[in-house]
Structure 1
Amino acid sequence: MMRAAVRLLGALTLMGAAACAAVVTSAPQPVAGPDRAIRIEARAVPLGIGGADLAPGVRYAGGLVLRGPALHGLSDLKIAPDAAGDLRAWVVSDFGTLIRFTLRLDRTGRLVSADSGISRALTGPDGAILTPKENADAEGLALLPDGRVLVAFEHDHRIWSYGVEGGSRPVAVATPRVALPENEGLEGLAPAGDGGWLTLAEGGGAWLCAADCAPLGPSPLIPADGYRFTGADRDPTGDGWFVVERFYRPPLDMRVRVRRLSPEGVLSAPLIQLRPPASVDNFEGIAAVATPTGTRLYLLSDDNANPLQKTLLLAFDIPPPSGEVARRGFAP
């Protein structure tokens, strides 16, 4: 996770994007229990002219700038259909909150808006709201097939399960037994086979966890070229994962890329690479959703509660590995 180093980037990289589309605001609606309704302002944003390098077959599928008092420091993202069949985004923040909102697509499938937001403060095993911020710094999120919601925290490095649908007091689950820098802890969290999970550390290292954790692959997984791991999600078309990596060189050079990670611990060539002047910011969250023709990837940025940055939510359609469409029985 990145803190104050990115003070100038957002204002310069998105100036051209700011003028493009109407703003849709979702007003808070009454909710029950520990959740509170939040206001979401969503404005469409283009990918931009220049600065985007997409692998063959990868297509930009719309994006949003999100604004609202609760939409700062968003550090991971997962997406699952709700009871009504709508796409529901699950998000954790640096400030110890669990946020959910609904994504809206147009009739062509492009991302066009977001609404119906609610937020809940994350608690500890005693039921008390997590404080101070260093104890509440949620950086990774996973939705397991059995419905459990896992959250990875930085500073006091740990992974907790908040139970099915995130409705329980947390219990500790397997976490890598390694020493990690205070502010460079577990950033990526995603389901793995047999009910387990994958976790990645920002500066390097990947582990498969269930009852315990073991390194992924025969050698430590280290991001190359100055990039840092910031998120991961399971590839719904295969046995591996999608990994998001971020690069920052002060004061203005911000980049992000997405690659596939195999079960053997091998990273692919980049599928998505963004740098200024494209719509780019401090991307930390990633969610993968199966589609009839491959996978829809959503990337979410953490604005560090910095007014010069943006909370961006971008969508990309990724073709499946060769032959996967036919194997899954989908029409090309």
Structure 2
Amino acid sequence: MIRGLLCALALWPAVACAEATLVARGIWPETGGVSALELTEDGTSAIALSDRGTLLRGRFRREGGILTVVTTERRELEGPPPLAPAGDTEGLALAPDGRLFLSVEGANRVRLQPRAGRPRDLPAPREFSRFRSNAGLEALAVDAAGALWTLPEEPRDGYFPLYRFDRNGWRLRMRLGATEAFRMVGADFGPDGKLYLLQRDFDGIAVRSLVTRIDVRTGEAEEVLRTQRGRHGNLEGLAVWRDSAGSIRLTMVADDNFRRILPTEIAEYRLD
């Protein structure tokens, strides 16, 4: 059940104020269908999630604009249904206490993967069942206080509903205006406390990507990255962190849809 409503509205398109520079690219080998990404505060350790419920851990190395990933662990997640293939695991969020949360598109549920013990699904409001099976909960993020945030891939009535989950359950916090044909595919809270949202526009041939950051207290939005169509692959996972020079970085991963001819691309931008 949704407990309460905050009628805030972020009006998009937002004004672009930051300058994004592509600083590193790479490929995560021997992976497939990766749709979500989390990085440690220093950007060196990664956790990724595939559409079929596979959890990957790796180490990131950067040198001369080349990003290399070394896989350190590969684990098939288990737990109560529905999980892949019955559901499509699309979103990943790492809580400050080490717990993992997964969003399951199709089933439109959020699952808690505790550090020890059996996974369980969080209670879902009736609204989640109204999302289309292939356009449901794809983006998931956790803030510094440990509260979860999610929103569907497709807008409803011209807006993306943004939900927050805490000990009182799910609450609709604001409605975000849709930008052109872009759809929500990834989310992460940055070290500045703002929510970064990765969006995708696919025209049937190539993808263009958009990243917007929003102050969830005020609803103010700012566009920080918009790529040309075909610049990257199907970027779906987003991790936001601060490098040693103090700059915010956006690290994104492309879902290859389990097609071997497509790489699991990693693209990293610095915000100046």
Tell me the TM-score range normalised by the shorter chain.
0.7 to 0.9
Q: 1:231 to 1:315 in 2, by over 3 A?
A: same
Q: Which moved more, 1:192-201 or 1:182-191?
A: 192-201
- Give me the whole-angstrom Cα distance separating, in 2, the residues matched to 1:160 and 1:56: 34
In the other structure, the counterpart of 1:209 is 165
**Mind listing any 5+ residue stretches in structure 2 that lack a counterpart?**
1-15, 155-159
Match of 1:75 among 18, 22, 35: 35
Structure 2 length-normalised TM: 0.83
Structure with higher Rg: it is 1
The answer on 1:123 being equivalent to 2:123 is no
The answer on 1:65 being equivalent to 2:63 is no
1:169 offset after TM fit, Å? 2.1
Q: Does the Cα contact within 8 Å between 2:24 and 2:62 map onto a contact in 1? A: no
Q: Does the Cα contact within 8 Å between 2:43 and 2:241 map onto a contact in 1? A: no
Q: Does the Cα contact within 8 Å between 1:103 and 1:111 map onto a contact in 2? A: no
Greater RCO (CA < 8 Å, at least 6 residues apart):
2
How big is each residue's C-alpha offset from its partner over 1:231-286, in whole Å with a ceiling of 9 and x where there is no partner?
0000211x321110000112x242111110221473634211112452x1111100
Aligned AA for 1:62?
Answer: A
Match of 2:119 among 161, 170, 177: 170
1:195-206 to structure 2, matched below 5 A, reads 195-203=146-154, 204-206=160-162
Match of 1:283 among 226, 230, 235: 235
Q: 1:148 to 1:180 in 2, by over 3 A?
A: same
Q: Does the Cα contact within 8 Å between 1:253 and 1:275 map onto a contact in 2? A: no
The answer on 1:145 being equivalent to 2:101 is no
Aligned AA for 1:214?
Answer: R
1:104 offset after TM fit, Å? 0.7
1:64 offset after TM fit, Å? 0.6
Match of 2:180 among 194, 218, 225: 225
Q: Which moved more, 1:258-267 or 1:190-199?
A: 258-267
**RMSD of equivalent CA atoms:** 2.3
Q: What is the count of residue pairs matched by the alignment?
A: 248
Structure 1 length-normalised TM: 0.68
- Give me the whole-angstrom Cα distance separating, in 2, the residues matched to 1:86 and 1:266: 27
Aligned AA for 1:310?
Answer: P
Aligned AA for 1:245?
Answer: Q
Q: Does the Cα contact within 8 Å between 1:92 and 1:141 map onto a contact in 2? A: yes
Q: Does the Cα contact within 8 Å between 2:214 and 2:222 map onto a contact in 1? A: no
1:55 offset after TM fit, Å? 6.1
Aligned AA for 1:288?
Answer: V
Q: 1:105 to 1:158 in 2, by over 3 A?
A: same
Bigger fraction of residues in strand: 2
- Give me the whole-angstrom Cα distance separating, in 1, the residues matched to 2:220 and 2:227: 18
